[in-house]
Structure 1
Amino acid sequence: MKLDRLHVDTVVIGAGQAGVAMSEHLTRLGISHVVLEKNRIAEAWRTRRWDSLVANGPCWHDRFPNMEFNADPDAFVHHDQVAEYFEQYASKFNLPIHTGVTVNKVYKSPNQLGYTIETSQGMLYAQHIVSATGAFQKPVIPTIAPKQPEFYQIHSDQYKNPQQLPEGGVLVIGAGSSGVQIADELNRAGKKVYLSVGRHERPPRTYRNRDNVWWLGVLGGWGFMRTDTGPLKGFAVSGAHGGINVDFRVLAQQGITLLGSTQAFAGQVVEFKDNLKHNLDEADTALLAFYDEADAYIQNNGLDLPAEPQARQLLPDPECVTQPLLALDLAAQNISSVIWASGFGYDFSWLQVDAFDECNKPIHKQGISPQRGVYFLGLPYLTGRGSSFIWGVWHDAKYIAEHIDIQRKYKDYQTDKNLLKYSA
């Protein structure tokens, strides 16, 4: 299909999990559309993951409803297999995805309805725009990071394996899934690892013979919406090694030195907040409350699931918690690498519409922006906690596709009435 001067109802930008899901629903509803992807389908799953990464959820759950993985349902599949899954999914449903197409600019079409999309393969025109570029657009390293460090400094987005790092110890900053898994991998590879731990959640991988994703489902956790506007807490859960519970005190027992939140750099000296114990205790409190809720659910529903009293037995605080380091001299401790597992930011510079706040963050309600005809998909907490996950983005896409379809039907009705009035 030639793209230049093409007119379609909807243009979807991005062919990751969000774009593929969106295209399936638009196809089902008979809405003319194209998906534009500058690289390959699911490119981030291919090249923006470290070598050993697996999905954070078992594949019986972390998939689209209309196709299963070719794997053990309880497996945590490798990231390459996830990319292949989306490639096969697009082929199965014959989705109109165009790869190798860069979107340079999207703006309201002057003197006419709809939007103009300027791409590397020409101009397109559409009534609706869906930004499906996801949440991991631009790696963010905080401004406290040295601009010209005397050590090897990368974002977790650039990390591939222990072999890429120079000899010496490593400071990993960030206690979400990426930071925890990278720190654990480096420690297992024989590196001396320091891990800076901010506020976080550490739900169990499994409890009473059920995976965390099942518990989130039956307890209503997937629909949870944030009420605060501060930074997202780290979500320390892992599918590595067949799926393991993340416990920072266990990591300390295994040789990782835990630190509080990173506060400042002064040359090669790093300063940390005295909040490590608070961060660990806060996560423990939430974990125990989860166990209470899960136990009550089992009792109230008469389920025969094995008791797990040992899960509530918290380990004693290691020395790095009771006597925390508040400053670390990287040179003195032979720490040659710093990895920032500090999350991602947005880059919507190509989308030139009135749908952003003063910080250039998308304004939307469940993906529907105040700019009529513009939608966002794949953002964290778009409709709930599940929005960042494979299965969740499929349901968010269904909601947005149906909203587009409803708007189209209203327009059709209005057009028909105008024709009737004119002909009379």
Structure 2
Amino acid sequence: MRAPSLPHHPAVVVGGGQAGLSASHHLKRHGIDHVVFERNRIAHAWRSQRWDAFCLVTPNWQCQLPDFPYAGPEPHGFMPRDEIVAYVEAFARHIDAPLREGVAVERVSRRNGVFLVETSEGAVTADAVILAVSAYHLPNTPRMSESVPDAIVQIHSSAYRNPQQLPEGAVLVVGSGQSGCQIAEDLHLAGRKVHLVVGSAPRCPRFYRGRDAVDWLDDLGQYDMTVEQHPLGEKVRRNANHYLTGRDGGRDIDLRRFAAEGMVLHGRLTGIDDGSLTLADDLARNLDAADAVYNGICGLIDRHIADNAIAAPEGTHYEPVWQPGEPARRLDLAASGIGSIVWSTGFRSDWSWVDLPLLDENGYPSHRRGVTGVDGVYVVGMPWLWTWGSGRFLSVGRDAGFVVDHLAARGRDRAAPVPARLAV
């Protein structure tokens, strides 16, 4: 029995981004009383962890929050940062979410058959908890950054805003995922000398055979492929996203073309000592692998067009416009004129505030389609929660609808079973 002095809700949602707000929409649809706690402000990550020139890499038509699809004049455009924030804020107003901004959830535990949710403004109890906090909690900067000379400015990609923010001199960007490549492009277009450490992230065409590649991939059902149908299974959750951009109406990101224009590309960073970087001999291999994925996507689209007799312009597969020479295995930061480093090295998860047997051996919430092994606890808004579209505006509402339907059924019948197969 819950403590009578504490407010109680049938459901508590932790996180007020698009995932938590989608959960709130579906809870309202079921008539379930709830509260949404948001540590910061609505759309905090979009607002505060994106650079000035940031825009979506998926077209606007994929913004499909529940009963609130994109309704603007450019369905095939790419919303910039401030418009994304406005879209999420408008959704919150549309659903009239019971949102508590500026209230941090500090601990979630279970006491006497109910969940105790301790916040910065006091505790509440709940019959069910939906964790809508994604998996990107703490900026991940490798320990080797501690060996960088003090004179060099270092920031994580989440703190990057524009080229003027960084001191004069060349800029080293470490990491070639979506953020790293787009930040490198932002600096390159501003005329800055850029060194880019290239990893294993794949690339994707922006437009191919008369349409955005995303449109073709959607027709092919790629965004509806479930984690259980994917050849990699749960391992796909650790894959890097394909790099491309929606900037200036959308285009490919071609690192080889940047190199031909003066950007300096390097293999993976393996160490830092005495003011110098140690680099792996894998630049050519990483570029070739990214191009192979690019052309593989083109080939997939080609087969779809041929199999369905679709009238479409002819397409050309990518041919490298630049090849790396003998790789440099050491890079002296001072001699190269590098005055700053942008660490585009992702984020770490932090579930330490969830005092429940929720995590697997890798520290990842064990779940199947958002239903965890802890009865009454759900996750939503995580990459590949169920499909490729799960971490996007496209499918986060559908995922939230599934977990709330399960939550509602549990409320009607507390014996509602946890799905048999839990993702690990």
Q: Provide TM-score, normalisation by structure 2.
A: 0.91
- Unpaired runs of at least 5, structure 2: 417-424
Instruction: Give the equivalent residue in structure 2 for 1:232.
Output: 239
Which residue identity lines up with residue 322 of structure 2 in the other structure?
D
Instruction: Give the equivalent residue in structure 1 for 2:268.
Output: 261
Query: What CA deviation, in whole Å up to 9, does each residue of 1:323-350 have, x standing for no partner?
Result: 2222110101110111111111111222
Which residue identity lines up with residue 317 of structure 1 in the other structure?
W
Q: CA deviation at 1:177?
A: 1.0
The residue correspondences of 1:97-136 to structure 2 (distance < 5 A) are 97-109=99-111, 112-136=112-136
Instruction: Give the equivalent residue in structure 2 for 1:221.
Output: 222
Structure 1 CA distance, aligned partners of 2:136 and 2:245? 18
Find out whether 1:301 has 2:308 as its counterpart.
Answer: yes
Query: What CA deviation, in whole Å up to 9, does each residue of 1:326-379 have, x standing for no partner?
Result: 211010111011111111111122211110134432222222211111111111
Instruction: Give the equivalent residue in structure 1 for 2:80.
Output: 78
Q: CA deviation at 1:136?
A: 2.2
Contact between 1:19 and 1:35, CA under 8 Å: does it hold in 2?
yes
Contact between 2:205 and 2:298, CA under 8 Å: does it hold in 1?
no
Query: What CA deviation, in whole Å up to 9, does each residue of 1:297-329 have, x standing for no partner?
Result: 1122221121122xx1412433xx232222110
Instruction: Give the equivalent residue in structure 2 for 1:89.
Output: 91
Which residue identity lines up with residue 96 of structure 1 in the other structure?
P
Find out whether 1:351 has 2:354 as its counterpart.
Answer: yes
SS in 2 for 1:200: coil
Structure 1 CA distance, aligned partners of 2:204 and 2:127? 42
The number of equivalent residue pairs is 404
Query: What CA deviation, in whole Å up to 9, does each residue of 1:230-259 have, x standing for no partner?
Result: 953352121112111121111112221111
- Aligned counterpart for 1:314 among listed residues 319, 323, 326: 319
Instruction: Give the equivalent residue in structure 1 for 2:380.
Output: 377
Contact between 1:174 and 1:234, CA under 8 Å: does it hold in 2?
no
SS in 2 for 1:308: coil
Find out whether 1:244 has 2:251 as its counterpart.
Answer: yes
Q: CA deviation at 1:412?
A: 8.9
SS in 2 for 1:408: helix
Instruction: Give the equivalent residue in structure 2 for 1:419.
Output: none
Instruction: Give the equivalent residue in structure 2 for 1:7.
Output: 8
The residue correspondences of 1:17-56 to structure 2 (distance < 5 A) are 17-56=18-57
Structure 2 CA distance, aligned partners of 1:256 and 1:135? 32
Structure 2 CA distance, aligned partners of 1:45 and 1:289? 31
Instruction: Give the equivalent residue in structure 2 for 1:277.
Output: 284
- Aligned counterpart for 1:327 among listed residues 320, 326, 330: 330
Q: Which is further off, 34-43 or 281-290?
A: 281-290
CA RMSD of aligned residues (A): 1.8
Contact between 1:61 and 1:213, CA under 8 Å: does it hold in 2?
no
Instruction: Give the equivalent residue in structure 1 for 2:413.
Output: 410
Q: CA deviation at 1:392?
A: 1.9
Q: Which is further off, 392-401 or 228-237?
A: 228-237
Which residue identity lines up with residue 185 of structure 1 in the other structure?
D
Structure 1 CA distance, aligned partners of 2:92 and 2:32? 16
Percent identity over the alignment?
Answer: 36
Contact between 2:294 and 2:318, CA under 8 Å: does it hold in 1?
no
Which residue identity lines up with residue 333 of structure 1 in the other structure?
S
Residues 148 and 270 of structure 1, relative CA distance in 2, 3 Å threshold = closer
SS in 2 for 1:390: coil
Residues 259 and 224 of structure 1, relative CA distance in 2, 3 Å threshold = farther
Query: What CA deviation, in whole Å up to 9, does each residue of 1:102-158 have, x standing for no partner?
Result: 11111001xx22201111222211111111111221110122222563211111011
Q: CA deviation at 1:168?
A: 0.4
Query: What CA deviation, in whole Å up to 9, does each residue of 1:203-222 have, x standing for no partner?
Result: 11111122122222122322
SS in 2 for 1:291: helix
Instruction: Give the equivalent residue in structure 1 for 2:371.
Output: 368
Contact between 1:65 and 1:391, CA under 8 Å: does it hold in 2?
no
Q: Which is further off, 228-237 or 367-376?
A: 228-237
Structure 2 CA distance, aligned partners of 1:144 and 1:366? 36
Residues 387 and 147 of structure 1, relative CA distance in 2, 3 Å threshold = farther
Instruction: Give the equivalent residue in structure 1 for 2:170.
Output: 169
Instruction: Give the equivalent residue in structure 2 for 1:59.
Output: 60
Q: CA deviation at 1:63?
A: 3.4
Residues 245 and 163 of structure 1, relative CA distance in 2, 3 Å threshold = same
Structure 1 CA distance, aligned partners of 2:318 and 2:383? 32
Structure 1 CA distance, aligned partners of 2:269 and 2:191? 24
- Aligned counterpart for 2:398 among listed residues 387, 395, 398: 395
Residues 327 and 227 of structure 1, relative CA distance in 2, 3 Å threshold = farther
Structure 1 CA distance, aligned partners of 2:281 and 2:176? 16
Q: Provide TM-score, normalisation by structure 1.
A: 0.91
- Unpaired runs of at least 5, structure 1: 414-424
Contact between 1:57 and 1:239, CA under 8 Å: does it hold in 2?
yes
Structure 1 CA distance, aligned partners of 2:212 and 2:20? 28
